[in-house]
Amino acid sequence: MDAISADLKVGDRAPNFSVQDSDGMLRTLTDLIAPEPRIFVFYRGHW
């Protein structure tokens, strides 16, 4: 049973990104974490 682990580890700096959200608004990591820590839930998508 292999453990799956991400390349991004606790203690790393999360790489910035700039993408649109589903409302068409541009979102960057910088903006998303500015007021408070942010939980990022990665969704595998629809079947």
Partner 1 sequence: MAEYRDLYAEVRKAGADLAVVATDPPKSSAGLRQQLSLPFPILCDSQRTIVKAWGVFNAAEKGGIAIPAVFVVDRAGMVRFASVDSMTSRISAKDILAYLRAGMPDRTINPPRTNLKFQIAYLYRAVHNILKFRVRSPQE
Residues that bind partner 1 (CB under 8 A): 1-17, 19-25, 27, 29-30, 32-46
Q: Do the beta carbons of residue 35 and residue 45 sit within 8 Å?
A: no
Q: Do the beta carbons of residue 14 and residue 29 sit within 8 Å?
A: yes
Q: Kindly state the smallest distance separating residue 4's Cβ from partner 1, in Å.
A: 5
Q: Kindly state the smallest distance separating residue 28's Cβ from partner 1, in Å.
A: 10
Residue 33 to residues 19, 25, 26, Cα–Cα distance (Å): 14, 16, 14
